[in-house]
Amino acid sequence: MEFSAAEIASFLEGKVVGDPQVKVNTLSKIEEGKPGSISFLANLKYETFIYETKASVVIVSNDFIPKAKVNATLVYVEDAYRSFIKLLNYANHLRGKRTGIEENVHIDATAKLGEDVYISSYCYIDRDAVIGNSVMIYSNSHIGQNVKIGEGTIIHSGVRIYPDTIIGENCIIHANTVIGADGFGYTPNTDGSHDKVPQIGNVIIGDDVEIGSSCTIDRATLGSTRIHSGVKLDNQIQIAHNVEIHENTVIASQTGIAGSTKIGKNCVVGGQVGIIGHLKIGDFVQIQAQSGVNNNLPDGSRVYGSPSMNASDFRKSYVYFRNFPGIIKRLEDLEKEIKQTIKE
């Protein structure tokens, strides 16, 4: 699709300097710009490229003042980087937009489909499922009984959504993720065997949540496992039964969160973090990569290590961790000197 500079400025609430009717149909890096493309300048260390680029349109921030002639049409906005991301999202939406139902799809007669839905080949939609408007479900996905999926959500290939799961609007679930499988619940017997504890709860996911590929989010034993609006999960993350993650928290790959732990809003959790069960993690907490968390964390904590400790204290202590063999040797040498002195 083609858009004029004027149309782009209107979408971004910006101002055109140059030819408002110049057309673009693709996106590019500023150093790789070519006629018909649109780029952006956010970091001034790349400023030299704006005087050389062949891009037809460049998005710049309002405080940008050219030091030489710029051949491209400029669109001035409040924040060039954020505006370009907004444009990328819109272009991605247009490029990926599909509607219709392909062949070899099973849709139960009791399921309800909204308008402009897309369902790819070899999908299975079970009884009483409710699929909202403009939802896209890609190939080989299974939507279980009584599942509800909100408007504009995208379900990528191979996703498995177990019964009674509720997913909000404008979510993205990436390939091979499993949502709503049984939680890891067993009770030990005197003979060493284990009886399964029935997992009869569900999973509830808010709006604007993105879940990476090959994640697993378990249903609750009772009640709900909850992922609140705005949460972003990387690939290969395990969320156990009855966990609750509040708004806008982001979690990096290979993190595991044990059952019934509650994580606050606007937290940042690094990769390969392990969090034991039944903890309360406050708001705005930062947990650095490969940390092991085994105690509650108040609002605003920054922790590191296993078991985790205050990040600043960990860094100071790490100096001694690295030198520990040398410290031991010095103590042993000192001990020998003392013993020798006593003998003398």
> Which residues are CB-contacts of 81 (< 8 A; sequence separation ≥ 6)?
40, 42
Distance CA(229)–CA(218), nearest Å, equals: 18
Distance CA(182)–CA(219), nearest Å, equals: 6
Bridge partners of 179, per DSSP, are 161, 217
Q: Provide the terminal-to-terminal Cα distance of the chain, rounded to the nearest Å.
A: 93
Active-site hit among 142, 156, 228, 241 = 241
Is 241 catalytic? The answer is yes
Distance CA(187)–CA(58), nearest Å, equals: 62
* 3-state secondary structure at position 47: helix
Distance CA(281)–CA(206), nearest Å, equals: 19
Residue by residue, DSSP assigns 75-140 as: EEES-HHHHHHHHHHHHHHHHH---EE-SS-EE-TT-EE-TT-EE-TT-EE-TT-EE-TT-EE-TT
Distance CA(143)–CA(161), nearest Å, equals: 5
Q: Measure the CA angle with vertex 84, ends 81 and 87; round to 5°.
A: 155
Contact predicate 157/172, CB 8 Å = no
Q: Measure the CA angle with vertex 171, ends 301 and 291; round to 5°.
A: 25
Q: Helices (DSSP H) in the chain: which residue ranges?
A: 5-12, 47-50, 80-96, 311-322, 324-343
Chain-centroid distance of CA 88 in Å reads: 17
Q: Which active-site residues does the annotation give? A: 241
